[in-house]
Structure formats: C-alpha cells, structure tokens
Amino acid sequence: MPHLFSPLTLRSVTLRNRIAVSPMCQYSSEDGFANDWHLVHLGARAQGGAGLVITEAAAVEPRGRISPQDLGIWDDAHVEFLARINSFIHSQGSVAGIQIAHAGRKASTRRPWEGRGPVPPEEGGWAPVVSASDRAWDAGYPETHALTVAEIEETIAAFVAATRRSLAAGFRVVELNAAHGYHFHQFLTPLTNFRTDAYGGSFENRTRIVRDTVSAVRGVWPDELPLLLRISATDWTEGGWTPEDSVALAKMVAPLGVDFIDCSSGAAIPKGGAIPVGPGYQVPLAEQVRRESGVPTGAVGMIIDPQQADRIIREEQADLVLLARELLRDPHWPLRAAHALGQEGPWPPQYERAKWAA
C-alpha cells in the first residue's frame, strides 16, 4: 500500500515522495522574468524535501498575466534563468514542474498586497482582456473581448510555444491551468461561457479548447514526460461546473495524453456558492475523479498535518498531495512530516547535523 513517502512514477519521471509544491503566484517578476526571489523560493522547497516543485502560473503571453508582475514563458529570453532554477531543484533530488497559464478575463489586476481591483494602463495594466465571452470579471474591471475562433487558435499556439520553452528550460513536468476562473475555466463552465459556436453551449463544445490544447501540447512535449491538468473540480454554484463534469473531462483528456488531474475548486465568478472550507475540504473531489475516471489525481487545500496527508495517500483518495500555504510557512515540512511518520526524510548533507536523531 502506498504512503506519503512512497515514490510515484508518472511516465518516465519518478517523484521521491507524494508531496508537491502547489503553484503559488509570487507577483515578483519584471516583464515575466524569473529572478533571485524565484530561485530561493522554489529552491528552498526542493531543499526542504518536496518530491515535485511546481512554479507559479507562468503566462503564455503578456496579456495572459494575472498581474503585471507575473512570471512569464512567452519569450525565449525567459528560459535562461528558469534553467538555472531547475538545475538547482534537480540537484536536490526534486523534480521541477511548471504551470503554464493564461488569466483570461482575470488579467491586469493588482498584486494582493496592493489592494484589489484592476491595474490601469498608466500603471502597467492593459485592456481589453480576453475570455470565452464578453463579460467582465466584475464591475469596474477591464473591458473583456470574446475571442474569435482564429484568436483561440493563436492562444493554443502560445501554449505550444510555451511548452517548447519549458522543455528547453529543463522542466520535467508541465501542468496546464484550467482552474480558478482563469482562461480555460472560463470556457469550461456555463457560468462564464455564453458562446454559440463550436466552443460554447454543449459540454462537448465547452471542453473543446482544453482538448485541443492538450493535443497540441502533447505534439511537442516528449512522450516520456508527464502532462498534468489542474481543474476546479466544482464551481460550488448551481448551474456551474460539477464533479461529474470533472470525471467526464478526465476521461476525455486521458487518451489525449494527460497523466494526472490536479483537483482544486471554485473561483469561476466573484460571488459563488457556499464553500465548505475546512481541513481537506477538496479531498473528496480528488477521490471522486480518481475513482470514477481511473486517472491519477492530486489533492490540495488546507492539508497541514502529516498524518492527514499520509491518510489521503494510504486510503487512496489521491495519488499526490499538493501543499501551498503550509509550505510557505515551513519549507521543510516534508522533513518534519517524515520524522512524524517514522520515515527517512531527504536531508541535504549540509544539514545532516541538524537531524532529529542528533
């Protein structure tokens, strides 16, 4: 029976344990470039023992950034520093992954510590933003342009180009972000997709952009490397995306080359339904998708306690746990969890003298 510190193999890539760093925006880039902040932030989590370290959402084009300070992967010049980061991550025994993304109508907004709301053009913002339909994120947010079919194809091409750059930078895992009300999610859910063409209306049509992108990305991403898909497994809102939709999507994309579904939830609209927030509240979503689709899944959301994380794996609710805020609080959480569970943590040799037995 697998446990939290069992290896996990996806295609040719083996993670040393079932702990992953969930993508967390750092809002610390200039023109999309990674820098020393990202090196230390991501490197520390690899040093701390995580099996998989995934970057924050990296925008596939400038207008796809959530904020003007988002990480980018739209320019060949972005590759060099990302490669430096990945070299360190791999030297610590972790696997480097990148989440490639587009914010859609949730683009051109302020960093969290600068308050909410859009960023005006005179402060580095942009308009219009783009989406499945011409509905702005909320009152006062940028004008939103509904993408034409030709523009959808251009966006898919941007994901393909970003995938090529990710390979050049040395990433061994790519994750497509179709969650949290961003670009792909805006097509998936009936709450934001009001199109009447081949990309709107039926479930088949609303999922088309994800299927098309997966197929296109798989065309340039090596067969031996895994491709992940992050979804909001439910909108928590009547008339929105459901767990059953997530199961159906997983069944559709697995034959196209998706190896793993990263199950988060919500954020399609500013004021969604009641969310039962609490420790592990999204774990049942990962369990349902895993059980009913047969596709490996990751669980995320208020996973804090080592015993809780271990139980998720042992009870086969998910194949991987992704931690976010807990790993901000404690980059060495995997080492602490190993000690708590009686396992051997991957201590850096420079830190051996600080091990628990000492």
Active site residues: 182
Does a cis peptide bond (omega within 30 degrees of 0) precede residue 128? yes
Answer for the pair 191, 239: CB distance below 8 angstroms, yes or no.
yes
The whole-angstrom separation of Cα 95 and Cα 10 is: 12
> What distance lies between CA 153 and its chain's CA centroid?
22
Taken in order 340, 342, 348, 351, the sign of the CA dihedral is positive
The whole-angstrom separation of Cα 213 and Cα 150 is: 14
Which are the contacts of 354, defined by CB distance < 8 A and separation ≥ 6? 347
The whole-angstrom separation of Cα 80 and Cα 100 is: 17
User: Tokens for 223?
Assistant: 């067969």
Which are the contacts of 162, defined by CB distance < 8 A and separation ≥ 6? 58, 60, 73, 74, 100
Beta strands in the chain (DSSP E): 8-10, 13-15, 19-21, 52-59, 95-101, 129-131, 144-146, 173-178, 227-232, 260-264, 297-300, 320-323
User: Tokens for 68?
Assistant: 């003007």
Answer for the pair 229, 246: CB distance below 8 angstroms, yes or no.
no
> What's the one-letter identity of residue 232?
S
Answer for the pair 326, 21: CB distance below 8 angstroms, yes or no.
no
Helix 149-168 vs helix 79-91: crossing angle, to nearest 10: 50
Helix 333-340 vs helix 306-314: crossing angle, to nearest 10: 70
